[in-house]
Structure 1
Amino acid sequence: MVTHSQLVIFDWDGTLMDSIGRIVSAMRATAQHLRLSVPTEQAVKDIIGLSLEPAIELLFGRLPTAQHQQFLARYRDEYVDLNTTPTPLFDDAIEVIEQLRQRQYGVAVATGKARRGLDRVWLETQVGHLFDGSRCADESKGKPDPQMLHELMTELGYLPQQTVMVGDSVHDIKMAKAAGVRAIGVDFGVHDAQRLKAAGADHVISRLSELPNIIGASYA
């Protein structure tokens, strides 16, 4: 069990990794391939952070079982193999995580990705060792349900008042509020500062490099 005084839990897509463009283009290409109505870019952005199956239902309604399975398979092929949109970590992501660890904060991830997807990007980026724990959408209830945060706090030994959630979507902020933890939004992902604040964000930042000082001040 980790025994640091504070825990910082990050969303992944749009918060630590600049993967929004690939998600949007892969989702739209999948719809086109299956001859479904192609959603707008903003409509796809609005479901980022949710687990894949409820996201599909929000965008396309309840698909017949066979078509739903085709969609899942094709989307994974599009995202992993067919789509060439780059998905780099944001420039200051590793530096900020290392800074938090140097300050003896616990660091974790709560993501709408499936475990297979998170493990794959951790292998590609070689950053998995920087995190004390993680929860994925296929291991717990999806956002904005607070279960992922409750499980991480229990596993790593933190109370809600010791914990902060950092994310780019209203789903992250609502999850944080439901779990009783502080919520910090980042406005360079899917949702802007106005929507993040309306969802209940305690702070909104424009660069990850602002995060350590805000967290330090929050717990001072």
Structure 2
Amino acid sequence: MNYKLVIFDWDGTLMDSIARIVSSIQASAQYCQLTIPTVQSVKDIIGLSLPKALNILFPGASQTDMAVLREQYKYHYVEADLTPSPLFEHALTLLKALKDEDKLLAVATGKGREGLQRVFSATQTEHFFHASRCADEARSKPDPQMLLSLIAELGVSAEQAVMIGDTSHDMKMAQAAGIDSIGITLGVHDREILTQYQPVAIVDSLAQLQQLLLPSRVLAKA
């Protein structure tokens, strides 16, 4: 697995933010007096752009309700919801190890640019990444546009890149782009669901992911 470019999803892959997303969506629905979606139904739309996600969760909502939902979601996620959303264990160690091995790193996320910049700042991680694509800059996952534009910008072939993600949307996006994928079970979807999209591997932690991507470092330490 000697990839030149490693592309990460953010929520549920590097950051433990799924619970906060779910509770913020549910609080927004309650504010708008709409049917509160189940935890699983919210989890299933994580990774999609916010407009696409809300259209799936609230198919009968008016345009006015949709606008208020977007505002309320941002308010709850950024300010009102105090659910912790730290980086997953070993995230910083993995990113540093990859950078030390001169790997190109990128992010392909369902977050908007404002949201990604906010978490970059909060986690002090922006310097690890050579490029990023957000849901308000490209077509929503699972469309391959994010990945295709990243490999074009960074000058690598599809065969030299790998997509790391926790959802079926990440796996489908990689398939559509002709890029290998590795599933991780820290976030939304379990091993059974991720396996359906033929990832080259599935891991249960970022430490396991490092062992896959940088086996020479593991052997050197041994």
Which category describes the TM-score, using the shorter chain as reference length?
Answer: over 0.9
1:75-129: CA deviation from partner (whole Å, max 9, x where unpaired): 1101111100011001100100111111111111000000000001111111101
3-state DSSP of counterpart to 1:28: helix
Question: Does 2:187 align with 1:173?
Answer: no
Q: What residue is the counterpart of 1:111 in the other structure? A: 109
State the shift of 1:216 in Å: 4.7
Q: What residue is the counterpart of 1:201 in the other structure? A: 199
Q: What residue is the counterpart of 2:96 in the other structure? A: 98
CA distance in 1, matches of 2:103, 2:6: 7
What are structure 2's unaligned runs of at least 5 residues? 216-222
3-state DSSP of counterpart to 2:106: strand
- 1:118-157 superposed matches below 5 A: 118-157=116-155
Q: What residue is the counterpart of 1:51 in the other structure? A: 49
Of residues 63, 72, 75, the one that matches 1:74 is 72
User: Is the 2:7–2:108 contact (alpha carbons within 8 Å) kept by the matching residues of 1?
Assistant: yes
CA distance in 1, matches of 2:3, 2:200: 20
Q: What residue is the counterpart of 1:183 in the other structure? A: 181
3-state DSSP of counterpart to 2:33: coil
User: Is the 1:12–1:109 contact (alpha carbons within 8 Å) kept by the matching residues of 2?
Assistant: yes
State the shift of 1:61 in Å: 0.3
3-state DSSP of counterpart to 2:44: helix
TM-score (norm 1): 0.94
User: Is the 1:174–1:200 contact (alpha carbons within 8 Å) kept by the matching residues of 2?
Assistant: no
What are structure 1's unaligned runs of at least 5 residues? none
Of residues 154, 159, 162, the one that matches 1:161 is 159
Count of residues in correspondence between the two structures: 214
The residue type equivalent to 1:159 in the other structure is: S
User: Is the 2:3–2:162 contact (alpha carbons within 8 Å) kept by the matching residues of 1?
Assistant: no
Q: What residue is the counterpart of 1:6 in the other structure? A: 4
3-state DSSP of counterpart to 2:7: strand
Of residues 9, 13, 16, the one that matches 2:14 is 16
Structure 1 vs Structure 2 CA RMSD: 1.3
**Greater shift in the superposed pair: 58-67 or 110-119:** 58-67
User: Is the 1:115–1:137 contact (alpha carbons within 8 Å) kept by the matching residues of 2?
Assistant: yes
CA distance in 1, matches of 2:163, 2:104: 12
